[in-house]
Amino acid sequence: MAEPVLFRDLQFGQEIYDVEIHGTGNGQFIGLVKEDGGPCRIAFRGSTVVRDGRRVALARGAMAWVEQEGKGDTA
């Protein structure tokens, strides 16, 4: 498969993100991006479409975080 134009001019550095993308079976997907050692997450939700004869994912990212245990507790 040919590399998309989008990636041709990129240079890659240290790998610090893990990405999991899961399809819902109906053309929708959700993906979670986590930075190594950091609490921040970006959740991508979107759908797949066909552009120029290729299936691509259209997504919008939202900040997300893991809810902390004891949140709201007062001691």
Q: Strand (E) positions, the chain? A: 17-23, 28-35, 40-51, 54-65
Q: Using one digit for the tens of pLDDT, what is the confidence trace for 3-51?
A: 566 667 878 888 877 788 888 888 888 888 887 777 778 888 888 888 8
pTM: 0.48
* Residue 67 pLDDT class (50, 70, 90 cuts): confident
Q: Please determine, for residue 73, whether its predicted confidence score (pLDDT) is greater than 50.
A: no
Sheet with strand 17-23: strands edge to edge: 17-23, 28-35, 40-51, 54-65
Tell me phi and psi for residue 5, to 5 degrees.
Answer: -55, -35
pLDDT at site 74: 46
CB 15 within 8 Å of CB 24: no
The answer for 26, left when phi > 0, alpha when psi is -120 to 50, beta otherwise, is: alpha
